[in-house]
Amino acid sequence: MAEPMKIRASLKGDTAEIKCLMNHVMETGLRKDAKSGTVVPAHHITNVTCELGGKQVMDAQWGGGISKNPYLAIRVKGAKVGDKVVVSWVDNTGDKNTGEATVA
Amino acid sequence: MNTMRRAVLKGAGGAGIVSVAVAAGILKPAAVYAAAWNKAGFESKDLGGALGAIGAGDASPSGDISVKAPDIAENGAVVPVEIISSVAGTESIAIIGEKNALPLIAVFNMMNGAEGYVSTRIKMGATSNVLAVVKAGGKTYKAHKEVKVTIGGCGG
């Protein structure tokens, strides 16, 4: 189910703006299915990490309050063209995904 | 008797999933999750509990944090939010939807040159404040922006 994520990293000065689009249903565990009326179990990303040039620059914890198919952008100083960006996530069912890009 | 047995089995199954998730995390050395998931915070149903769980009960208002969000969100399921913290030495940014069923939305820890900047999209169940809590140098700061929601995004 883990579809590839889209990552863009563009350099402005010495700051890289890393933008990322992930594919995930992000179910809160509160929503009821319209047809059956049963509660849809929680299924959302819990942890996201980002590395730039081999160094971890961000780790995040998420609840179900992040929108479906999450978008995330962060800015990191001291980056240069060609640095490798790695974004990884894990969800509450143990599913996980990793995407890579290079700073352009 | 049978219901008891079910409950035990269910409990064991749940623990199994967690341990598999942990093992999967350990097997991948590139991703180091500094902190596990703040279960107490993310499952807290009231604002006070959520703030307490992230150690922000006494956060002081700060003008150095900017919360950018639309004044009116037509669709509460997708509310773009941008948080810029110019507090020196910003270590983490938490996003909270004050009137959401589960207020704590996300906590971002920044390190190794990452700026106090996060842009993402959140769900909002009702018109309320989007609260940003920033940790820097052992202190917590907060700022907020009200977003009017015309259609809820939390399965209402």
- ipTM score: 0.94
Which of B43, B54, B69 has the alpha carbon at shortest distance from B133?
B54
pLDDT surpassing 70 at residue B31: no
The pLDDT confidence band at residue B44, using thresholds 50, 70 and 90, is very high
B138 burial via Cβ count (<10 Å: 0-12, 13-18, 19+): exposed
Residue B36, pLDDT score = 83
Q: Establish how many alpha carbons lie within 13 A of residue B65's alpha carbon, considering only the half-sphere containing its beta carbon.
A: 29
Q: Establish how many alpha carbons lie within 13 A of residue A15's alpha carbon, considering only the half-sphere containing its beta carbon.
A: 11
What pLDDT digit, counting tens, does each position of B53-93 carry? 999 999 999 999 999 999 999 899 999 999 999 999 999 99
What tokens were used for B70? Answer: 């639309």
Taking the Cβ of residue B70 and every Cβ of chain A, the question of whether any pair is shorter than 8 Å is answered with no
**A51 DSSP β-pair partners:** A56, A86
What pLDDT digit, counting tens, does each position of A89-99 carry? 999 999 999 99
Q: What is the residue extent of each domain of chain A?
A: 6-102
Torsion of CA B9, B14, B15, B17, to 10 degrees: 130
Taking the Cβ of residue B105 and every Cβ of chain A, the question of whether any pair is shorter than 8 Å is answered with yes
Residue A33, pLDDT score = 87
What pLDDT digit, counting tens, does each position of A41-70 carry? 999 999 999 999 999 999 999 999 999 999
Q: How far is A39 from chain B (nearest CA, A)?
A: 10
Question: Closest partner residue to A77 among B80, B115, B122, by Cβ?
Answer: B115
- Which CATH superfamily hosts domain A6-102? Immunoglobulins (2.60.40.10)
